[in-house]
Amino acid sequence: MNDMRLIDRAVDMKDIKFSARNVQVYYGTTHAIKDVNVDIADKTVTAFIGPSGCGKSTFLRSLNRMNDTIDICRVEGDILLDGEDIYDKRVDPVQLRAKVGMVFQKPNPFPKSIYDNIAYGPRIHGLAKNKTDLDEIVESSLKRAALWNEVKDRLDAPGTGLSGGQQQRLCIARAVATQPEVLLMDEPCSALDPIATAQVEELIDELRSNFSVVIVTHSMQQAARVSQKTAFFHLGNLVEYGETGQIFTNPVDPRTESYISGRIG
Amino acid sequence: MTDASANNSASGKSSLLVQDARTRNRNAVEARFKWYGITAIAIGCAFLILLVTAIAFNGSRAFRQTFVTVPVTLDAAAIEAAEASMMKTSQYRKMIEAALLTEVSEANIETDMDAGKLGDMLSSSAPAQMRDFVLANPDRIGDTVSFDFLTSSRVDGYLKGRVTRESLANDKNLDAAHLDLVDQMRDIGMVEKRFNIDFIIGSDASEERPEQAGMGVSILGSLFMMFVVLFLSLPIGVAASIYLEEFAPKSRWTDLIEVNISNLAAVPSIVFGILGVAVFIQIGHLPKSAPLVGGLVLTLMTLPTIIISTRAALKAVPPSIREAALGVGASKMQSVFHHVLPLAMPGILTGTIIGLAQALGETAPLLLIGMVGFIATNYPTGPIDGFLSPNSAMPAQIYEWAKRADPAYYERAWGGIIILLVFLLAMNVIAVILRRRFERRW
């Protein structure tokens, strides 16, 4: 995983998963996201970068309507998932969130056993017909999150007893277990040490084969390492969006260039 | 520039081994503050010790009562005559007095009192006790049965040091000669002070018979009230707090409700009492003095406490848990009931038990709905009777005893407080145990 791989990142843009058109997000009277247009491809890692407070997390959270839980938050414009408007009146956000899973900044396992952490999503969505099914889902999810070998002997142990990096991978396994189509990650490595970060990054790269992954990150190196597409946000605007290689080596907008080279942000 | 650095520049170098004036001053302030704290705690502890010893000293005497052992021959003819007469117990009284006189003279205790005067040292509950025994055991008629009768509260008070010969000078029930007899009867073991279970399980008695009064019926009254409070205030309180904390939109209306709930917690309990009279008794036509009404009034009083503590417990659950549940596609309801509520459970239980304990010790609202001053002499016949028939409650019973004239009742009020405190202590222990059991770290 190093910058040398930037060259072989041709992305097939045929399958568009998310399509955002003229999206505005307001917190009360604050205009947090201004007129964002973006197409997020399937089976691709898309990174959102930008300085703190630029709105990248806000935009990410509007993709699975997590912002609904904030009373003063208001979203305008269209966000289409596979061509359907997720803010349509008929859409139940609970159903949407089963399709669009989320991993948070701080690892937040439930204070239950490792097994129950993974099994919770499949249980409430009725994904497993019986105990054997559920066991299989738990095993495959933990394997996908590269955690199986470390925890297979103590599935009854509390999830909160794991190390920080293991907890974050447990949360990823939990998100994967509900079989989402898109995985949103809000700075998933900001609370982890470099070794755990490397493990999670490797994992993200593998997840790309099954999901569309959208990751918000503060670390430009991380964006360069794991993503194929990068979007640069600044003061609520989507300044530039393109191939990761192009953004980092040959940015079009002067603001992107200043941020990448460390002059702003 | 600070003083310290000014000193440094003046003297060139300062030694770490010598404290400068500013550091000395700061340390002195800190030491002084520590002493203030220790003094405050010491004063608090002193008051607590004073309170506990006063209660233990005054109250423990109520648990022991003076009994006189009298063998009475259950003469069939006399009993038949007594049952046929209008004043049944006075006939039984004559039998007991005669037996007592015989017993005293057989013990070679000299007295010039007649049987009636001698009988003044017995509690007026003695004839009823004997009659109850006869009615319950008709096959024992003809035998000689040894009864342990309660002595009058003055004899009991004499053995406890409350009554002296001087204080009996103006007493028309008992005089100093009785006390001389009591001294001799005690020497031969006829009169004895021993543990009196009836104080805990018995019922209240009339003003003239303090020796017979017990807490039992009012304990039951309190328990029936607590059932009402628990089964109403816990579900209502928890449902209200979950809605306000997790579901309610933040609007002017919910703000108004929140402020009012907080204010309700500070409303004097007597206000809830008068509300209970107006709503439950005058409009709702529920029976007066009933534990059901008492429970309803105390529910109103306990609800704000439970709502406030439940909301605090829900607030203390980290929001990341809610996000995690929503993130895997749980509904709001699932996130609350599967994850938030179990984590808030210890806090909710603690708040509920504190609310119940508060309700258990509350007297003022019971004054208004007539649960004070009522003499609860009969046990309820069943659960429905327990909720609906007039009764008292522990604190109300204590208050009632404390305002009666006879000093023997004063002693019982202290004893009642010990029983009340034991119940409160038990509830607190339950709260601690439940909290330990449900507590989960994350």
Which helix (H) or strand (E) element contains residue A229? strand A229-234
Query: Closest approach of chain B CAs to the CA of A164, in angstroms?
Result: 13
The 10s digit of each residue's pLDDT in A183-228 is 999 999 888 888 888 888 988 988 888 889 999 998 888 999 999 9
Residues A22-63 have pLDDT tens digits of 999 999 889 999 999 999 999 999 999 998 888 899 999 999
**Long-range contact list for A160-163, CB < 8 A, 24+ apart?**
A160/A109, A160/A111, A160/B441, A160/B442, A162/A109, A162/A114, A163/A196
Task: Find, among A93, A103, A97, the residue nearest to A173 by Cα.
Answer: A103
* pLDDT value of position B388: 87
Tell me which of A13 and B271 has the higher pLDDT: B271
Q: What is the nearest CA distance from B328 to chain A, expressed in angstroms? A: 6
Query: What is the predicted pLDDT for the residue at B420?
Result: 94
Residue type, A84: E
For residue A102, the cross-strand partners are A184
Q: How many CB pairs under 8 A join A and B?
A: 69
Sign of the four-CA dihedral A239, A245, A249, A250: negative
Over residues B333-381, the pLDDT tens digits come to: 999 999 999 999 999 998 999 899 999 999 899 988 888 876 677 888 8
Non-local CB neighbours of B205 within 8 Å, separated by 6+ positions: B125, B211, B212, B213, B214, B375, B377
Residues near B78 by beta carbon (within 8 Å), at least 6 away in sequence: B91, B95
Chain A hits for B334, CB-CB cut-off 8 Å, are: 124
Sign of the Cα torsion B361, B366, B372, B376 reads: negative
Tens digits of residue pLDDT in A81-124: 998 999 999 999 888 998 999 999 889 999 999 999 999 999 99
Residues of A within 8 A of B320 (CB-CB) are 104, 106, 108
Q: Which pLDDT band holds residue B63 (cuts at 50, 70, 90)?
A: very high
Report CB contact under 8 Å: A121, B321.
no
Closest Cβ opposite residue B249 in set A71, A94, A104: A71
DSSP letter (8 states) at residue B152: P
The beta-strand segments (E) located in B49-155 are 64-73, 144-150
Q: Is A156's pLDDT higher than 60?
A: yes
Q: How far is B309 from chain A (nearest CA, A)?
A: 22
Using CB atoms, pick whichever of A98, A108, A171 lies closest to residue B329. Answer: A98
In this structure, of B157-161, B166-170, B195-199, the range with the lowest mean pLDDT score is B166-170
Phi-psi region of B331 (alpha: psi -120 to 50; beta: other; left: phi over 0): beta
Please report how many Cα atoms fall inside a 13 Å half-sphere around the Cα of residue A15, on the Cβ side. 8
Name chain B contacts of A171, Cβ cutoff 8 Å: 324
Alpha carbon distance A54, A35 (integer Å): 13
CA torsion angle B243 B247 B250 B253 (round to 10): -40
In the numeric block, which tokens belong to residue B233?
Answer: 């205030």
Residues 154-213 of B with CB under 8 A from A: none
Check CB contact of B326 with chain A, cutoff 8 Å.
Answer: yes
The answer to whether the CB of A35 falls within 8 A of the CB of A59 is: no
CB contact under 8 A, A94 and B249: no
Per-residue pLDDT at B437: 83
Smallest Cβ–Cβ distance between B320 and the set A104, A124, A125 belongs to A104
Cα–Cα distance for residue pair A207/B31, rounded to 1 Å: 61
Reported as a pLDDT band with limits 50, 70 and 90, residue A140 is very high
Q: At what angle do helices B216-242 and B407-438 cross, to 10 degrees?
A: 40
- Edge-to-edge strands of the sheet including A84-85? A30-41, A16-27, A73-81, A84-85
- Mutate: best of A65, A69, A95, A125, partner B, most B CBs <10 A: A69
- Which chain A residues have a beta carbon less than 8 Å from that of B318? 108
Rounded distance between C-alpha atoms, residue B204 and residue B374, angstroms: 9
**Alpha-helical regions (H) of B119-249:** 126-136, 153-159, 176-187, 198-201, 216-242
CATH number 3.40.50.300 is the correct assignment for the domain at A3-109+181-260 = yes
For residue B238, what pLDDT is reported? 94
Beta bridge partners of A213: A45, A183
> Per the CB < 8 Å rule, is A101 touching B338?
no
For range B45-70, the mean pLDDT: 92
pLDDT reported for residue A4: 43
**Complex ipTM, two decimals?**
0.84
Q: Give the per-residue pLDDT at B179.
A: 87
Residue ranges of chain A whose CB lies within 8 Å of a chain B CB: 64, 66, 69, 71, 94-95, 97-99, 101-104, 106, 108-111, 120-121, 124-125, 160, 171, 174-175, 177-178
Contact between B369 and B298 under an 8 Å Cβ cutoff? The reply is no
Span B285-309, average pLDDT? 92
Q: Which residues of B touch A64 (CB under 8 A)?
A: 327
All residues of chain B having their beta carbon less than 8 Å from the beta carbon of residue A108 are 318, 320-321, 323-324
Task: Say what the pLDDT of residue B41 is.
Answer: 98
Distance CA A51, CA A60 (A): 15
What is the reported pLDDT for A9? Answer: 45
What pLDDT does residue A230 have? 93
The shortest CB-CB distance from A110 to any of B329, B339, B441 is to B339
- pLDDT digits over A63-78, tens only? 999 888 888 898 999 9
- Is the Cβ pair B441, A111 closer than 8 Å? yes
**Of the candidates B362, B343, B255, B252, the residue with the CA atom closest to the CA atom of residue B301:** B362
* Kind and range of the H or E run holding A230: strand A229-234
B442 touches chain A (CB under 8 A): yes
Contact of A80 with A243, CB cutoff 8 Å: no
Q: Strands A16-27 and A73-81: what pairing?
A: antiparallel
- The C-alpha angle B173, B178, B184, rounded to 5 degrees, equals 155
Rg of chain B over Cα atoms, rounded to whole angstroms, equals 32
The answer to whether the Cβ–Cβ distance between B328 and A108 falls below 8 Å is: no
Contact B330 A174 (CB under 8 A): no
Q: Does B339 touch chain A (CB under 8 A)?
A: yes
Residues of A whose CB is below 8 A from B331: 94
Percent of chain A at pLDDT above 70? 94
| B306: pLDDT strictly greater than 90 | yes
Measured between alpha carbons, how far is B354 from B229 in angstroms, rounded to an integer? 12
Of A214 and B74, more confident: A214
Report chain B residues whose CB lies below 8 A from the CB of A103: 327
